[in-house]
Amino acid sequence: MGRYRKESVPTAVGIDAILLVNLGTPEAPTAQALRPYLKQFLSDPRVVEIPRIVWWLILNGIILNTRPKKSAKKYAAIWTKEGSPLKVHTERQTKLLKGLLGESGRKDMLVDYAMRYGQPSIASVLDRLKALGAARITVVPLYPQYAASATASVFDDVATWTQNTRNVPELRLVRSFPEHPGYIAALAASVRKHWQMHGRGDKLVMSFHGIPKRSVDLGDPYQAECQATAKLLANELQLDAQHYVVTFQSRFGAAAWLQPYTQPTLEQFAKESVSRIDVICPGFAADCLETLEEIGMECKAAFLAAGGKEFRLIPCLNEQPDWIRALADIVIAR
Ligand SMILES: C=CC1=C(C)c2cc3[nH]c(cc4nc(cc5[nH]c(cc1n2)c(C)c5CCC(=O)O)C(CCC(=O)O)=C4C)c(C)c3C=C
Ligand SMILES: [Fe+2]
Ligand SMILES: [Fe+2]
């Protein structure tokens, strides 16, 4: 027996398919569900780049005995009746994209989503698309800015699938889209709408997920891509330098990550009487633990405790129609 499974013979006329991929999320907001999810996530060598044996001991000896319970509590604070926000939004984005492509004459196109960690796995959805006759598959990691730990990890998983597949379809891997005009316009529209509804804060904080500083020193383009997005968004909103700031959140572990860090920056603003803050998280295509809990709850509480007056989190692009149109443009572009 070799590694290759029996595969169905495709139809003569191949179908185009789109596969949206997001990070993944636990199946439930419980320590039992967090453990396997975190184990898979944090065992990925793209995510933690320290010698395997050392990391295996730290992960299995410490992290997986402490973090599942702590993280489960955080997930419980944002969990909805339909499930984890990240999964709910990704499912809706998939349906809306399918509908939009159908309206523009691409009813035949298959559109599905997968998660890098947890379910549905990339391999299971690629198998399904292929069985349905997909001959050309465009894979779109839902990360506007390229980071090896996020984007390349999706590509690795696709490559693992091709290694186990006999009849590999044509593949297009969308690398990143930090300056895509439709994406930038959708972000700007969401800020303007927020200002109209709630008034304008003293500063707009653009908070991106962080990565270790070492990754950037070793050649990861992530920081530059975040700065490119931020600059275009600021231009579109006609914000000058003193009215916005780029920060990095979600630090994990003891090493230095990209700076300035979001929470200390917010606390410093509160102390300097910059008391009304709007926060947008342009690197997240969907609201999730990192936006709803870390920014919307933890950072908000820290800002108010430090003397800040108003803290408003601008929702992620989620199901915003102009964002779905931008996504259609990104997936169709050849
Ligand atoms: C925007 C893209 C992301 C990059 C780059 C990224 C890098 C990265 N993340 C961790 C560790 C964790 N991240 C966690 C949650 C999480 N991360 C992203 C996106 C990126 N991560 C998202 C969308 C989410 C939310 C998932 C959800 O279910 O809502 C977590 C899990 C939660 C927790 O226990 O805190 C960890 C851990 C590292 C180490 C890293 C790069 C080195
Ligand atoms: Fe993360
Ligand atoms: Fe976090």
How is domain 15-177+323-332 classified at the CATH fold level?
Answer: Rossmann fold (3.40.50)
What would the mean pLDDT of 264-271 be, rounded to a whole number? 98
- Res 12: pLDDT: 58
- Res 4: pLDDT: 82
Confidence of residue 11 (pLDDT cuts 50, 70, 90): low
67 lines ligand 1 (CB under 6 A): yes
Q: What sections of 79-221 are H helices per DSSP?
A: 85-103, 122-131, 153-163, 181-198, 213-217
**Backbone dihedral angles phi then psi of residue 11, each to the nearest 5 degrees:** -70, 160
- Res 6: pLDDT: 83
What would the mean pLDDT of 183-187 be, rounded to a whole number? 98
At 35 the three-state DSSP class reads helix
CA proximity to 180, closest of 261, 285, 312: 285
CATH architecture of the domain 181-313 equals 3-Layer(aba) Sandwich (3.40)
Binding site for Fe(2+): residue ranges? 209, 290
For the packed helices 222-236 and 181-198, what is the interaxial angle rounded to 10 degrees?
60
Domain 15-177+323-332 and domain 181-313 have a common topology: yes
pLDDT, tens digit, 9 for 90 and up, residues 197-228 = 999 999 999 999 999 999 999 999 999 999 99
Residue 55 scores a pLDDT above 60: yes
Closest ligand to the CA of 23: 1
**Backbone dihedral angles phi then psi of residue 176, each to the nearest 5 degrees:** -170, 170
The pick from 65, 284, 290, 294 for probing ligand 1's pocket by mutation, whose C-beta has the most ligand atoms within 8 angstroms, reads 290
- pTM summary value: 0.96
Residue 195 scores a pLDDT above 80: yes
316 lines ligand 1 (CB under 6 A): no
Confidence of residue 333 (pLDDT cuts 50, 70, 90): confident
- Res 37: pLDDT: 98
The full set of domain ranges for the chain reads 15-177+323-332, 181-313
Query: Assign residue 118 a region: left if phi > 0, alpha if psi is -120 to 50, beta otherwise?
Result: left
- Res 5: pLDDT: 84
- Res 3: pLDDT: 76
pLDDT, tens digit, 9 for 90 and up, residues 282-318 = 999 999 999 999 999 999 999 999 999 999 999 999 9
Binding site: residue ranges? 209, 290
At 296 the three-state DSSP class reads helix
pLDDT, mean over the chain: 96
